[in-house]
Chains A and B, each alone.
Chain A
């Protein structure tokens, strides 16, 4: 298993500003994912961040809005840029081992409110 921490755990931000969310894993992992969960909704994958390559974004998400860094096998950041109230969500990072049987472990999430 993997233990994942996220910072900050929650934040309240003003419209037009940016917030960087950090994700730290206690072991080296190849595959890391960033999700958004809007209030009362399921998880939506933003991007897959594998170390040593550019993040792969899902439809509807772009690098200018959600830049991601993955400098090593234990750490990643997601920035929510030029925020609007529609960005108010829980942002979760997760890690998984390769293969369809690899369990996915989630961080505790970052609760973001944009005013």
Chain B
């Protein structure tokens, strides 16, 4: 089974609108971390936001927020007030296990339309 599932290969959003990128995960480990990364066309991986499995509050970082629904095992990324520079690939990742290995989803390509 896939550890991380991103079901939206491509998304479009109007500039200044909000967009939600979906991510579901699969683990039996009670302790894990969830991450979102942005990869622009230049190729670098940019850390956006982190949510710990024991965190009670949803994580927020500026225009990014993580909608963490533990019972549903979902960790959706919400980008508010989209900007043209937000156009990129977005990867959801989970870290778990004794080796603290990272598992990445297949990514969602976001295009912001002017």
Q: Do the two shown chains form a genuine complex with each other?
A: yes
Question: In whole Å, how far is B101's beta carbon from the nearest beta carbon of chain A?
Answer: 7
Cα A91 to Cα B52 with chains together (Å): 28
Q: Which of these, B31, B45, B100, contacts A98 with CB under 8 Å?
A: B100
The interface on chain B, measured as residues whose beta carbon lies within 8 A of the other chain's beta carbons, has a size of 25
A45 adjacent to B101 (CB under 8 Å): yes
Asked if B22 is an interface residue, CB under 8 A from chain A, the answer is: no
B105 adjacent to A31 (CB under 8 Å): no
Asked if A43 is an interface residue, CB under 8 A from chain B, the answer is: yes
Q: Which of B48-64 contact A (CB under 8 A)?
A: 50, 52-53
The interface on chain A, measured as residues whose beta carbon lies within 8 A of the other chain's beta carbons, has a size of 24
B106 adjacent to A100 (CB under 8 Å): no
A102 contacts across to B, CB distance below 8 A: 33, 95, 100
Q: Which of these, A41, A90, A104, A108, contacts B95 with CB under 8 Å?
A: A104
A100 adjacent to B31 (CB under 8 Å): yes
Asked if B25 is an interface residue, CB under 8 A from chain A, the answer is: no
B45 adjacent to A100 (CB under 8 Å): no
A90 adjacent to B105 (CB under 8 Å): no
